[in-house]
């Protein structure tokens, strides 16, 4: 096999493997909260204020999904349009079968990336709906304060939510439910995406957020665990 062909093919397989593993941990394997979330169906109409918040959460998801479609699926649509316009026979005259096969395989990656990202944002939207439906008025007021502390483009994608004395951390690969009273350490440092926060409870959870958002998290944890160690 030609070395120039082998390297991109190996890279393609590596990326495909990484995507496959990611899809397993994000979509297939679920923790206890995510299992409850999978069975959740909206129970009743919420207050006008809560419904307004959730509508904006949905708009945020659709906006992000639209961007993902443009970035990752546009090449696929472009290729299909070319096939339709030129005809498959003409396309075979222009490009060898090997190139067409490689192109179709390479288009599989952006499609899988799109599917994975859209799944994560849809999962987060459903989780927010479930938690907003169940949380107290004070928890919802706190959620709105956290929203205002976030960057304008991510205001409806909170890093954490407090609901019925439980914290829910929205990590890319999972939504983790943690009892704030069991958090023993919180450490943080700066990264290119903001503050990099490490939470021990005793399992370690890593997440990024703004400094103002972190202040709300610290207030919650200190309320349930006054002996918490922060650095």
* pLDDT tens digits for range 164-219: 999 999 999 999 999 999 998 999 988 776 788 999 988 899 999 989 999 999 99
What's the predicted TM-score (pTM) here?
A: 0.83
Report the CATH number at residue 173. Answer: 2.30.29
- Six token digits for residue 202: 């005793």
Residue 7, domain member (yes or no): no
For residues 13 and 121, what is the distance between their CA atoms, to the nearest angstrom?
A: 26
- Six token digits for residue 133: 């439906």
| Segment 50-69 mean pLDDT | 92
- Residue 60 in 3-state DSSP? helix
Q: In the chain, which residue ranges form alpha helices assigned H by DSSP?
A: 3-23, 32-39, 48-68, 74-86, 88-94, 97-134, 137-149, 211-224
pLDDT, position 102: 54
Q: Which of 134, 162, 180 represents a domain boundary (last residue)?
A: 134
Cα separations in angstroms, 46 against 50, 128, 134, 137, 213: 6, 13, 10, 12, 26
Q: Which domain holds residue 159?
A: 137-231
183 lies in the same domain as 130? no
Residue 30: CB atoms within 10 A of its CB come to: 16
Q: Which of 109, 134, 159 represents a domain boundary (last residue)?
A: 134
Q: Containing H/E element for 170?
A: strand 166-171
pLDDT, position 85: 59
Please, is 221 exposed, middle or buried when counting C-beta atoms within 10 Å of its C-beta (0-12, 13-18, 19+)? buried
122 lies in the same domain as 143? no
């Amino acid at each position: 096999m030609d070395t120039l062909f082998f390297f991109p093919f190996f890279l393609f397989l590596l990326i495909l493997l990484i995507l496959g593993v990611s899809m397993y941990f994000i979509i297939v394997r679920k923790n206890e909260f995510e299992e409850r979330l999978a069975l959740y169906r909206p129970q009743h109409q919420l207050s006008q204020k809560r419904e307004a918040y959730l509508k904006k959460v949905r708009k945020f998801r659709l906006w992000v999904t639209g961007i993902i479609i443009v970035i990752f699926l546009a090449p696929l649509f472009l290729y299909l349009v070319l096939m339709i316009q030129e005809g498959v026979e003409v396309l075979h005259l222009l490009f060898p079968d090997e190139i067409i096969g490689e192109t179709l395989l390479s288009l599989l990656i952006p499609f899988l990336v799109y599917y994975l990202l859209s799944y994560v944002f849809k999962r987060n939207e459903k989780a927010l709906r479930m938690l907003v439906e169940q949380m107290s008025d004070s928890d919802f007021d706190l959620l709105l304060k956290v929203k205002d502390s976030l960057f304008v483009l991510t205001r409806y994608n909170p890093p954490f939510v407090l609901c019925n004395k439980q914290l829910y951390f929205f990590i890319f690969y999972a939504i983790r439910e943690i009892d704030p009273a069991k958090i023993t350490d919180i450490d943080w440092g700066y990264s290119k995406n903001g503050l990099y926060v490490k939470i021990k409870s005793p399992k370690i959870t890593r997440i990024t957020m703004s400094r103002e958002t972190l202040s709300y998290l610290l207030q919650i944890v200190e309320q349930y665990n006054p002996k918490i160690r922060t650095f």
